[in-house]
C-alpha cells in the first residue's frame, strides 16, 4: 500500500509565534504517526518560486495523511500556523509501482 505525504512550503512571518505552531502540530503528528522526511534543511529552488522552508511528512497511507490534516488536533494548530506563517500544503498519495530501469 502506498504511503501518504504532506508536502509543505512555508514562509515563517513570526518566528516566536511559529514555535507555538510547532508545539501544537506535534500533538496531531504523534497521534497519526507522522514521520519527518524533510524539515527545513538546506535547499535550492531550481525552478519556479516557493516559500523558503520545506517540509515533507510521511504517514502510513493516504487516508491517515488526510485524517491528520482534518483532525481536531491539527485544526487547532492551523489557527496558530496561519497567524505565524504563509504556506502551501498538499496531501498526496505516494507511489509504489515500478521504477525506471
Q: Residue 28: helix, strand or coil by DSSP? A: helix
C-alpha 86, offset from chain centre: 13
- How many CA within 13 A on the CB side of residue 87? 25
Q: Which sequence spans correspond to the domains of the chain? A: 4-93
pTM listed for this prediction:
0.93
Contact by Cβ (8 Å): 8, 54? yes
pLDDT bin (cut points 50, 70, 90) of residue 100 is very high
**pLDDT for res 51:** 93
**pLDDT for res 101:** 86
Q: Distance between CA 38 and CA 57 in Å, rounded?
A: 7
Region 10-27: mean pLDDT is 97
Region 60-84: mean pLDDT is 98
Residue range 4-93, CATH number? 3.30.70.100
How does DSSP classify residue 96?
-
Amino acid at each position: 500500500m502506498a504511503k501518504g505525504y504532506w508536502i509543505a512550503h512555508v514562509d515563517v512571518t513570526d518566528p516566536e509565534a511559529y514555535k507555538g505552531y510547532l508545539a501544537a502540530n506535534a500533538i496531531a503528528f504523534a497521534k497519526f504517526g507522522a514521520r519527518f522526511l524533510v524539515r527545513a534543511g538546506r535547499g535550492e529552488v531550481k525552478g519556479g518560486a516557493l516559500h523558503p522552508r520545506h517540509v515533507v511528512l510521511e504517514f502510513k497511507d493516504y487516508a491517515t495523511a488526510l485524517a491528520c490534516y482534518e483532525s481536531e488536533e491539527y485544526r487547532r494548530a492551523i489557527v496558530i500556523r496561519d497567524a505565524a506563517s504563509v504556506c502551501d500544503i498538499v496531501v498526496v498519495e505516494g507511489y509504489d509501482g515500478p521504477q525506471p530501469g
